[in-house]
Structure 1
């Protein structure tokens, strides 16, 4: 997004690290049972009066590093009191899985029912549209506690924004030139786009304010409720525009990357029937006749994890170009790099470099079978979520969504191309944009293999 949409005060950025759901925080519903009995809370470090555990997060380490150290000492689930907020810090994949599990399961059920409706007639479904709707609803419910009533219009608006920010404008290329600012239409278009997005987000904020105005009950708090509570208490300088920008950025990051990755992986599986069959065989063998993919079963789907890892190699979900700036004058490969130079790291090219990858352009999940490479940028040749302090904070959130949907689509359905499409002609062109999305929608014919359970 444009700089004016994403630059927040440093103090606010620190605060958002505490509460963003993509760091897998979720507020505990209540500190006592309804019958008045005390509950067993997760462990926590020592606290101070008034500020609680804030002092553990305000040292020299970045907050997410400090949180990791707390988790190493106290376990994967830790209770924290940050001022007046009661927070649960989830620092393991298992804990993150549980955070939004009911939302995921319900939204996956909606997606599968929509796909299954087309199966009896052997009718092609626009899988791209269905996946986008699933990802948007799941992310929005995690952020605001419910589906967005005008989701389709909001998605169209965000789609326009993706195209608007796809290429640099004159002021981006000549940031010190007032002339470039004056003659370029892009800044005005960006401001209009921001205002339209803010109108939608105003509706969300107003609804939350009305719902909470008569009660201070902390049950079922979502991110918007937390931000509004902080704003009311005045502990941090948090404007309504800050809240709207935060919601918009988290929604974009949480929904678009998951949807884009799922579409690419399904397209790669269609192009590679051997891999598709192997992944389906594993899912169906592990699940048996349970008629429903469970999150417990996901842990046993080792080949599915390789498929996802390979999909992320060929199609990194974030910016194909990792942007940084040299803070000091330095030497790189023997060349002088002046201070203040913009650095573009082409992660897309690195992940397809034949120097590091055999058959680099081919979809071969087995390449990761006996290689210890993770998602966290520890190996420079594989950085699907970025690297360093600005690595994507929602890795576990996104991976759980990917695994559950992909396993469900492979378990319940066989997949075919529409009659008029031959395997060798499947369009794999990319769209020029903020992220490397498919240029055209992916339409496939679903054939039910395992019927959906009646309670889905």
Structure 2
């Protein structure tokens, strides 16, 4: 028995002892919880999760229904796996179900108290949301920064063209990550964080993914709060290391900009960082230097990881569906014309490209289990009670593959969206990759532009084939589960 196993065993023994002292001897709670599998003593249903919880919870829902209860250690968890039930949680009862259960991994460097996706609904949250909606993701801001995105996609096309000349395969996820990273860093910091000859892309991608994987994986400290002191799996410690690496990048950028602003006659950058520093100077309660560092961490982790994974899944599906790829190329040729670049203003005239991305997000939502919510009071849904303090998980992956909603639910069929008004903006609960309600992803307007622009450009400018020796039947579509859903094996394809 290794040291970690010994510690876990020791802690679990202590939990058992504590549990029998804590459990009341009176009548059991009479609240009518949704149905669910019978829990084991102490550990509850933890063994049901497996290493891909989105899939195991989907399987359980087939037996217990679209709203079910799991006991994960000491945590009562309600799992939602249908569009109707998701609407109840995300819209009808949004006010009582908007706060979060925060993973122990995020309780490092005070991130749980400063991170917009995780803090409770409050004036602090509303201020951060206001900055996102007004300064970064408004139509005016997105239009003003359109040249940056155009330039970075042109660089992606140029690098891909160089690979086509040499016959080298392109790592799609890495290329998309670098492009998204430099789009954001130029918009926010006026610099490329990933230079043409640096390994920053790979390092930053590894930092972000490792953090997302650790935060998303089952953690004993989340299910048994008494274990939080011990961090038995070392998850919080690893997350702290990765957070420091990210935080140091932004601390350095902020310090450099502050020094530059002190120099008489220095030019204002008019970027997001200058805007945030202006807010700091005008209203320190709304934003200070520490809050800014954590805000930038949120923007860069959410804006790079999800974009690159969606691009990778989209290209993988297209390479395995040549008919869909041909339709997309024909549409681009007819609408854009050969030799002309794809522009953001073209997106509305490219319904099949839009359909491809909707179908990709249906099958491969970047966050398969939407960030966990917490009941602020007892809530009745479908005749059942979600008790105050319960964790609520919405399985967007299961809803996107619900056979009662989608014909041939597991097949990649973009055409299904051509005569459909369904979109991914949180109004249609059949497909909610960005969430819905007041907690919907604030970066959705930017993500929609970037994904269409990047994917359309790669399809329009090149033909594609898998690396030599690999065919579609052999392509590994296995997933890696974290807060986000990645391909377990990077997609490599040759541009022609």
Q: Does 1:252 align with 2:301?
A: yes
Matches within 5 A, 1:28-39: none
* CA displacement, residues 101-145 of structure 1 (integer Å, 9 cap, x when unaligned): 111111111111111112133322222211111111112222212
Q: Does 1:143 align with 2:188?
A: yes
Superposition deviation, residue 217 in structure 1: 7.4
- 1:382 is matched with 431
Instruction: Pick closer, same or farther for the CA change 1:217–1:139 going to 2, 3 Å.
Output: same
**In proportion to residue count, which structure has more helix?**
2
Superposition deviation, residue 411 in structure 1: 0.9
- 1:133 is matched with 178
Q: Does 1:181 align with 2:224?
A: no
Superposition deviation, residue 155 in structure 1: 3.2
Superposition deviation, residue 342 in structure 1: 0.7
CA distance in 1, matches of 2:306, 2:238: 24
- 1:2 is matched with 106
Point out where structure 1 has 5 or more consecutive residues left out of the alignment: 27-88, 448-456
* CA displacement, residues 49-104 of structure 1 (integer Å, 9 cap, x when unaligned): xxxxxxxxxxxxxxxxxxxxxxxxxxxxxxxxxxxxxxxx835xxx5652321111
* CA displacement, residues 248-299 of structure 1 (integer Å, 9 cap, x when unaligned): 0011111111111111111110111110000011001112234322233332
Instruction: Pick closer, same or farther for the CA change 1:289–1:337 going to 2, 3 Å.
Output: closer
Greater shift after overlay, 381-390 or 117-126? 117-126
Q: Does 1:170 align with 2:226?
A: no
CA distance in 2, matches of 1:215, 1:357: 62
Instruction: Pick closer, same or farther for the CA change 1:309–1:222 going to 2, 3 Å.
Output: same
Q: Does 1:90 align with 2:138?
A: yes
CA distance in 2, matches of 1:333, 1:137: 46
Superposition deviation, residue 197 in structure 1: 2.2
User: How many residue pairs align between the two structures?
Assistant: 378
- 1:316 is matched with 365
Matches within 5 A, 1:72-91: 90-91=138-139
Cα RMSD after superposing both structures: 2.2
Superposition deviation, residue 166 in structure 1: 3.0
Superposition deviation, residue 365 in structure 1: 1.0
Greater shift after overlay, 318-327 or 411-420? 318-327
Under a length normalisation based on structure 1, what TM-score does the superposition of the two structures give? 0.77
* CA displacement, residues 341-374 of structure 1 (integer Å, 9 cap, x when unaligned): 1111111001101011000001111111222212
Instruction: Pick closer, same or farther for the CA change 1:290–1:97 going to 2, 3 Å.
Output: farther
Greater shift after overlay, 277-286 or 314-323? 314-323
Say which SS state the counterpart of residue 240 (structure 2) adopts.
helix
1:261 aligns with one of 306, 310, 321 = 310
Verify the 8 A CA contact 1:19 1:223 in the aligned structure 2: no
CA distance in 2, matches of 1:100, 1:386: 25
CA distance in 2, matches of 1:201, 1:97: 22
CA distance in 1, matches of 2:265, 2:214: 41
Say which SS state the counterpart of residue 165 (structure 1) adopts.
helix
Verify the 8 A CA contact 2:370 2:435 in the aligned structure 1: no
